[in-house]
Amino acid sequence: MIQTPVERKVLSENDRVAAGLRESLGEAGTLSLNFIGSPGAGKTAFLEKTLQLLPPGTRAAVLTGDIQTENDAIRLGRYGYPVRQITTAGACHLDARMVEKHLGGWNPRELDLLLIENVGNLVCPTSYDLGEDAKVVVLSVCEGEDKPLKYPGIFRKAELMILNKVDLLPYVPFQPELAREYARRIHPEIEIIETSAITEAGFGQWMNWLRSRMEAKTAETKTKEREVA
């Protein structure tokens, strides 16, 4: 993507704040994931189901971004975890400064997991590092198989693609194999998990992915602490 000098300046300031976030979350051993997908792909529904299935005692928190309304925070707030809405008042993406501000008062050392739902958009959020450990792209079977080819940026940057709403496959002309092929054409190593936030299909695989990433994060933080000591 070609950037103007102003865009470059904004992004370098964002990168500076994101690096600070990554350092403080890293020291605390908090795994942070940035969920990006089109409006309505099912990001909130997917996170709601995730919160329902987290092992008891998991110290999780959620930030959810939208241009307007507290709707998603209200939905996500039903599961006993701290949730904050970030309303961007027009901006089509979250930035690191917004995340930093809304983390205020939460101690990262008391969090194992920070889930960030970005504003529904497959383009703008891609350029803004939020200090996360990984971006997760959420694509639903209602959007067409060719989205990885049309919006390659996010599929290139995401470590994991959630292919959501697979319960609708009997009703929509969508070929999951083709969507997988296109995603891997853009990013050969991308991991792909097919899910339904309604039937819970695929959530066993997703919760295993999440658990192993959280364990890896804890191990990485302990190794760094030993190196410093």
Contact positions vs Mg ion (CB under 5 A): 43-44, 72
For the bound state, the minimum distance from the C-beta of residue 20 to Mg ion, rounded and expressed in Å, comes to 27
148 lines the binding site for ligand GTP (CB under 6 A): no
Cα 169 to the center of its chain, rounded Å: 24
For the bound state, the minimum distance from the C-beta of residue 5 to Mg ion, rounded and expressed in Å, comes to 33
Q: Which residue has the tokens 């997703």?
A: 206
Q: How far apart are CA 163 and CA 140, in angstroms?
A: 5
Q: Pairing between strand 134-140 and 113-117?
A: unpaired
98 lines the binding site for ligand GTP (CB under 6 A): no
Return all residues near 86 (Cβ < 8 A) that are at least 6 apart. 63, 64, 65, 66, 94, 98, 99, 102
Size of the site for ligand GTP (CB under 6 A): 18
114 lines the binding site for ligand GTP (CB under 6 A): no
126 lines the binding site for ligand GTP (CB under 6 A): no
Q: Which of 167, 191, 200, 220 binds ligand GTP (CB under 6 A)?
A: 167
DSSP, collapsed to helix, strand or coil, labels residue 16 as helix
Residues in contact with ligand GTP by the rule CB under 6 A: 37, 39-45, 66, 72, 120, 164-165, 167-168, 196-198
